[in-house]
Amino acid sequence: MGVIIPFIMKINEIFKSIQGEGSAAGIPCVFIRTTFCNLRCRWCDTAYAFYDGEEKTIDAIIAQVRAYQTPLVEITGGEPLLQKEVYPLVTRLLDEGFRVLIETSGSLPINLLDPRAIVIMDLKPPGSAMSHTICWENLAWLKPDDEVKFVISDRNDFEWAKSVLAENRSLNDRTILFSPVTDEMDVRVLSEWILKENLPVRLNLQLHKIIWDKEMKGV
């Protein structure tokens, strides 16, 4: 018999916190932050995950998650889909009964993910300097429970997001998140724009940055 080589991923951190964003905001959640990212968004707040991390087997990752005794798990990054081992990790977590969220930049195809997982997918506005990386085919692969996030830095980003929603009516059947860039986009101003335009979107604040210092890791 041949030697079975375990799946190994490079993981930046695993921690338990309050889910800060999306429809699950406010709920205790275990976060698996993977290492590596193929993008360099201008306002990125997790550059420490570009390279730093520790190699872990999927069994070790799941054991660490299981120890927190928390049913909600989010896989984030970095960009989780850069490591092909994320696919069996997601399926293993789902098979164990966890509710799994996976946050992705929208630059890589999502169609290979276990359909039971909930995808939270960014669509990068011009202010990110990464709009050219969007994998537009992903829109056809979104499921009803998936969520789409626009991180807004200014009025140009807002107008761009509006145009994307107008051109892709199927997105209106899903949860759409408008998230202000910290220290750049005034939350009150973004709220007023949403109200004035009567957009069917959710204002998405990062609760963890409100509860704890915005520079803290592991929260």
Q: Which domains are delineated in the chain?
A: 8-211 (3.20.20.70)
Q: What are phi and psi of 202, to 5 degrees?
A: -110, 125
What pLDDT is recorded for position 13? 96
What pLDDT is recorded for position 7? 86
What is the C-alpha to C-alpha distance for residues 197 and 189, in angstroms, rounded to an integer?
Answer: 12
Kindly give the confidence (pLDDT) of every residue in the chain, 219 residues in length, as a single tens digit, with 9 standing for 90 and above.
554 557 899 999 999 999 988 899 999 999 999 999 999 999 898 899 999 999 999 999 999 999 999 999 999 999 999 999 999 999 999 999 999 999 999 999 999 999 999 999 999 999 999 999 999 999 999 999 999 999 999 999 999 999 999 999 889 889 999 999 988 999 999 999 999 999 999 999 978 778 777 666 666
Cβ contact 162:200 at 8 Å? no
What pLDDT is recorded for position 207? 80
Q: What is the DSSP string of 51-90?
A: T--EEEEHHHHHHHHHHT--SEEEEESS-GGGSTTHHHHH
Cβ contact 34:77 at 8 Å? yes
Reported pTM: 0.92
Q: What are phi and psi of 208, to 5 degrees?
A: -65, -30
What pLDDT is recorded for position 2? 55
What pLDDT is recorded for position 216? 63
